[in-house]
A and B are shown apart, each in its own frame.
Chain A
Amino acid sequence: MSLAELAARHGLSVSGARPSLGEYARQLWSRRHFILAFSQAKLMAQYGQARLGQLWQVVTPLLNACVYFFIFGLVLKGRGGMGNSEYIPFLVTGVFVFTFTQNSVMSGVKAISGNLGLVRALHFPRASLPISFSLQQLQQLLFSMSVLVIVMLGFQHWPTWTWFAVVPALLLQLLFNTGLALVMARLGSNTPDLAQLMPFILRTWMYASGVMFPLREKLDGSDVPGWVGDIMQANPAAVYMDLMRYALMHGSYHDTVPTSTWLWALGWAVVFGTGGFVYFWKAEEQYGRG
C-alpha cells in the first residue's frame, strides 16, 4: 500500500492545499474579527511612539494638503479658474482620496513579503493581510474625512443631500483598492523589487489623475489626442476623486462631473474586486516561500 493510499483510507488531507474559491471565501469570513483587529492594531501601532499619538492621523493628511496648496495653488498657479474657496476644498479632497488608493497599493505590495514571519507561523487565509491593510487605510481616511468636513464648512460648502453620496463612493473605492491591493500583494510576494518601483508609478499616476488641477479643463485646452484624454478621465483615481468632489462641493466644478462617472466607479470596483480576489487565491499555497 502506498502512502497516498494510506492517507486516503484514513481521510487525511494534503497539508497546505488550496481550498476551493467558495471555501476560501467562507474561511475568510470566519476570520473577519482577526482582519478587523489586525487593521486596528496596525493603525494604533503606527503612531504609538509619537508624543502627539493618534493626533497625527489627522495632522499628517492636513500637512500634505498644505504642501500641495503652497506648490500648486500659489507657486505654479495650476488651479484653473477656481478661487480659493473652491480650489482648497478641491485640492484637499483630491489629496485625501488619492492617498487612500496610494497607501492601499503600497501596503498591498508589502502585505505578504513584509509579513513572512506571520505567514510562516500561523494558519489563516492569506488574503486576510491585504484586506486588513486596505481596511487600515479606510480607517485612516475616515480620520481625514473629519478634517475634510471642517475644510468644506470653512469655505462655505454647506451640507446638501449629495453628501450622502459619500457613502457609496467610499464603498466602491474601498472595493477597488482592496482588489488592487490583492493583485499587488501577489506580485510583491515573488517580486520584492516592486516595492522600490511603485513610488514612481504611483507619482506618475497622481500627476495624470488631476489631484491638484481640474483634469477636464486642462485636457480641453491642450493638444493631447482625444483617446488619451478619455483614458485619463476614466482612470479609477480620477473617477473616485470626482465622485467625492461631486458629493461634497458645490459650484462650477460640481456641475462638470458627468453622470457616467458613477458607472465607471462601479465597473472598476467590480472588475478589480472580484478579479483581484481570484488572482490572489490562485497562488494561495505559494505564499510563505521566499
Chain B
Amino acid sequence: MAESDIPSETGLRPGAGIPSEADGRIPTVVADDLHIVYRVYGASARGNATSALRRILRRESPASRVREVHAVRGVTFVAYRGEAIGLIGSNGSGKSTLLRAIAGLLPAERGRVYTDGQPSLLGVNAALMNDLTGERNVILGGLAMGMTREQIRSRYQQIVDFSGINEKGDFISLPMRTYSSGMQARLRFSIAAAKDHDVLMIDEALATGDKSFRRRSEQRIRELRSEAGTVFLVSHNNKTIRDTCDRVLWLEKGELLMDGPADQVLKAYEEETGK
C-alpha cells in the first residue's frame, strides 16, 4: 500500500502520536527515530576454501564480506501506561527486533528508546537446558529472569501445577529432553509467566500446548496485562490482537506504516493482505 492512501487527518500517520503539552497521560516507552542493524558474517561467502583464498589474495578486506540487514528503519512512537499495543506485519517486517530493542537487548544503530523501568520479554527458552531435569530448569529459568531464590521457592509448586507436567506422573524430575515438544513448550511458558513485569512484551507465546493449556495461558496473559503498566503483543492472529489490544502498530520492511486504534489499523491491514 502506498502511504498516500492513508488519510493524514485521522492521525494514523506514523509519528502522529507525539503528544502535546496538555496531554495528561503518562508515557512508559518512547521510541525516537530508532534504527536497528544486524551484521551477518560470511553471508556472501561462497563457502569453499579456494574462493576464500582468492578473496584474501585480491585483498578484499574481511569487512566487505559483512552483510548488513537494516531491520528497523526510523520507528517513532510513544506508548502510555495502561495501553495494550499489538504489533502486526508480515514475516520479517521487524516486529520481534523492535521488541528486543525496546527491551534494551539489541543495541540501536541510531536513535533511542526511553523506558520506564526495565521492560521484559516474555520468554526463557534460551536459559533452559535440555539435559537438566524440569525441576532444575524451573529454578534456573527463574534466576535467569531475575527472580530471587525465595520468590522461586514460593512459586515453584504454582509453576509446576500450571504447566500440568505432573498430571501424567512424576515427569518434573526427568531431563527436559525426554519431554514431548508440547510439554516443553508448556513448561517454558509456565516459567516465563511466573514473574510480574512493568512493561511486558509477548512474542506469539499464545500458540503453545493443547486446548485446555491455551485457555489457561490466555487467562494468565490477561492477569499479567492487568498487573503490567504497558503490554506489547506480537501475533499473526488478528483475532488475538483485536481481543487484547486497543492500539496497533503496523510494521512493514522495518518502517512504521500505521499507528492507531486497533479496529482501524486491522481493517486497513486486512484489506491489504486480503484476509
* A positions within 8 Å CB-CB of B: 1, 3-4, 6-7, 10-17, 31, 33-34, 37-38, 41-42, 44-45, 48-49, 115, 117-124, 192, 285-286, 288-290
Contact = CB atoms under 8 A, between A and B. Distances in A.
Contacts of B74: none
Interface of B: 18-19, 21, 26-30, 32, 38-39, 41, 76, 78, 100-108, 112-116, 118-121, 123-127, 129-132, 136, 139-140, 143-146, 148-149, 175
Given A13-B114, A124-B146, A117 B126 contact: yes
B29 to A, nearest CB: 8
A290 B140 CA distance: 25
Most B C-beta atoms less than 10 A away, residue of A34, A118, A285, A289 = A34
User: 7 smallest A-B Cβ distances: which pairs?
Assistant: A16-B104, A48-B131, A7-B114, A117-B126, A15-B104, A12-B114, A34-B143
Contact of B107 (A31, A38, A285): A285
Given A15-B104, A38-B140, A48-B132, A10 B27 contact: yes
Given A7-B27, A44-B132, A289-B107, A14 B143 contact: no
Given A10-B27, A119-B105, A45 B32 contact: no
A122 B107 contact: no
B30 A3 contact: yes
A220 B102 CA distance: 61
A132 to B, nearest CB: 11
Contacts of A33: 143, 148-149
Given A15-B112, A123-B104, 12 more contacts: A6-B27, A6-B30, A10-B27, A12-B29, A16-B107, A17-B104, A38-B144, A41-B129, A45-B131, A118-B144, A121-B121, A121-B127
Contact of B103 (A10, A123, A286): A123
A15 B119 contact: yes
B121 A1 contact: no
A49 to B, nearest CB: 7
Nearest to A192: B41
Given A15-B104, A15-B113, A31-B146, A49 B131 contact: yes
